Chains A and B, each alone.
Chain A
Amino acid sequence: MAKSSVKPISHPFLLLLVLIAHTAMMVLVVLSFGVDAEVIKLAAAVLSADLVGSVILQIIHREACTVDTVLLLITGMSTIYQSCFGGLEFDVKHFAFCMASFVMCQISYAVTRNPYRAEKLKPLWYTLFFILVFCILFLTGSRGIWIDLGFITIQPSEFVKPVFVLICASSIHTQLKKSEIAGFHFVPDNLMLLLCTVVIAGLQWWCRDLGSLPTFIAAAGCAMLLRFCYLREKVSLRLIVFLAACGVGVAIFAWKLAPGYVQERLHSDIWADMSSTGYQQVKALTAIAEGGWFGKGVGNGTLIHVAAARTDIVFSTICEEWGLFTGMMTVVLVLFLPGAILTVPPRSYYHSGLALGVAAVFIVQMALNIFGSCNLIPFTGVTIPFISQGGSSMLASGILAGFLKAAQAPVLTDRQTQKGGK
């Protein structure tokens, strides 16, 4: 067999690029704050994380370096942003979660890189899903979404996202297994996906956390679309019209029965109600306008004093201090992650489903956050993956990035076949 003529991508070269990018940002930080202990701590943490991350990747494996490199770049940028909002103070907690998300990415890659094995683990994903649902129902207090352990708070609904994406992915073999009940033929896997979607929608309704619902609906919708397009035998126009009609019906039903606070957001005019319901959005929009193309200066923002400046309206906070250029660049960089599936396409239906689910989650979350901040849609209060502060969100995003990596560099070994199955 002829030797590959394509030279392997040099990890040290990519690391150098990430280092240069972070150094350029640190130069700006130094010019803004001068040189003091906090700046040195921040620079040392970010740059050493790049070095350590690269060495670890070099030792473990050299495949799918796009996802890893972009992840290192984004997490470093995120640490710099979060440490500089409203004044310099190295955000150790955020940095630790960034590193943890990188580790989670490698772990989830190891678990899902073999589509045959990951598919066999589906009962485990269902179990995990219902355990998390149980946690949200009974451990978060009165219709809340947080579990307070005293020293740390956990948001289990964030961890449902990667588990739900795992449930969304399916292989052709699974889709070919049909069951019959009362004369109806159906694929049990599709029925389970439908059940999980209904459960999560009901749960979000119950917890009054409907902001994340579009993310789940998007992931489930993409999974269903993939199944109907490729794997269903009898796709007809009638079926599509029926499904579309059902979707419209559910949307109207949800619109009419939405809780009061949702109705308020759907119908509110933020400019007419600047002091209460529109406060955050007005401040966020004003901050973007005040920041201009190059920002008011690192640490000079005022939006940081508004609630959720580091999480739900983080895009506006970045735009205010770093400028709209930097804000847009950050968005593009985060979009690089799901975009990675376009560079190296998945080689199995399972990984296609996985990658599509992750892309749906990332893109919808970003759209909800940014468009919500800009008053293009009602304010939902979801995070931008890897950029917003929040440990649960960061870890869940890391797990999702691992799925993308698995889709890029799969391992196609089937133990059953290896043992002698023909």
Chain B
Amino acid sequence: MEVDLSPLFEQYPLLREAATAFAVIFVNFCALVILIAAARERRRGDHRWIKEGKGYMLSCGSECYTLGAAEILIGRHPCADIRFDDKEISRFHALLTLSNGKWHIEDIGAHNGVIVNGVRIQQRCRLHQNDVITIGKRHLTVIKGVI
């Protein structure tokens, strides 16, 4: 079966431009909807993350820090995820990590150490809700955010 439609374009030159515009508009429309879907995926990703990380947050006085990544650096360095401008806190003090749906904290060479529930940790330590982490003079409480 062979149908030659090219004479159509020769007879109606505007038809080719209209057909191209139609194709471009449709592909662009699809791309736009995929973008909207991606935005929805972001919200879904956030919910998935809250589930994965149990919705844990760190509370320090009136401040509240969300744990938005699988690795959270705590320290005095300007690039730390949770930064405290306190001389007793090392530049890179502690590292929070998430694996298998569990949060852990470890001392990454802090001068004054990391204390969890009153005990100075020597190795990676698992965190539970209401645990109190002491870093320098700061007391951080592990709390559960609202989902």
Interface residues, chain A, with chain B CB atoms under 8 Å away? 1-2, 4-6, 8-9, 13-14, 17-18, 20-21, 24-25, 27-28, 30-37, 64-66, 69-70, 73, 77, 115-116, 171-173, 176, 229-231, 233, 235, 294-295, 297, 322-323, 325-326, 329, 332-333, 336, 340, 343-344, 346-349, 408-410, 412-414, 417-418, 421-422
Contact = CB atoms under 8 A, between A and B. Distances in A.
A203 to B, nearest CB: 33
Contacts of A418: 100
Contacts, number: 175
Interface residues of B, number: 63
Contacts of A332: 31
Interface string B17-41: 1011111101110110111011111
B108 interface: yes
A348 B71 contact: yes
Contact of B99 (A8, A37, A235, A412): A412
B19 to A, nearest CB: 5
Nearest to B37: A9
Contacts of A5: 47
A28 B100 contact: no
B2 interface: yes
A309 B26 CA distance: 26
A422 B123 contact: yes
6 closest A-B pairs (Cβ-Cβ)?
A24-B26, A414-B99, A34-B4, A21-B30, A343-B38, A35-B3
B77 A233 contact: yes
B7 to A, nearest CB: 9
Contact of A412 (B21, B42, B45, B100): B100
A32 B6 contact: yes
B70 A6 contact: no
Given A6-B47, A66-B38, 12 more contacts: A9-B41, A18-B30, A25-B23, A28-B22, A32-B9, A34-B5, A70-B34, A294-B20, A347-B68, A348-B69, A349-B71, A412-B52
B99 A35 contact: no
A14 B99 CA distance: 32
B128 interface: no
B140 to A, nearest CB: 19
A347 B96 CA distance: 13
B37 A69 contact: yes
B95 interface: yes
B34 A336 contact: yes
Given A77-B27, A323-B24, A413-B100, A343 B41 contact: yes
Nearest to B147: A2
24 contacts: A1-B51, A5-B47, A8-B44, A9-B37, A17-B34, A20-B26, A20-B30, A21-B27, A25-B23, A27-B19, A31-B15, A32-B6, A36-B2, A66-B38, A70-B34, A297-B9, A329-B31, A333-B27, A336-B35, A343-B41, A343-B45, A413-B100, A421-B124, A422-B124
B27 A25 contact: yes
Given A1-B51, A233-B77, A343 B42 contact: yes
Contacts of A69: 34, 37
B73 interface: yes
Contacts of B95: 172-173, 176
Contacts of A65: 37, 41
Contacts of A116: 99
Contacts of B38: 66, 340, 343-344
B112 to A, nearest CB: 17
Nearest to B3: A35
A233 B91 contact: yes
Given A2-B147, A8-B44, A412 B20 contact: no
B42 A28 contact: no
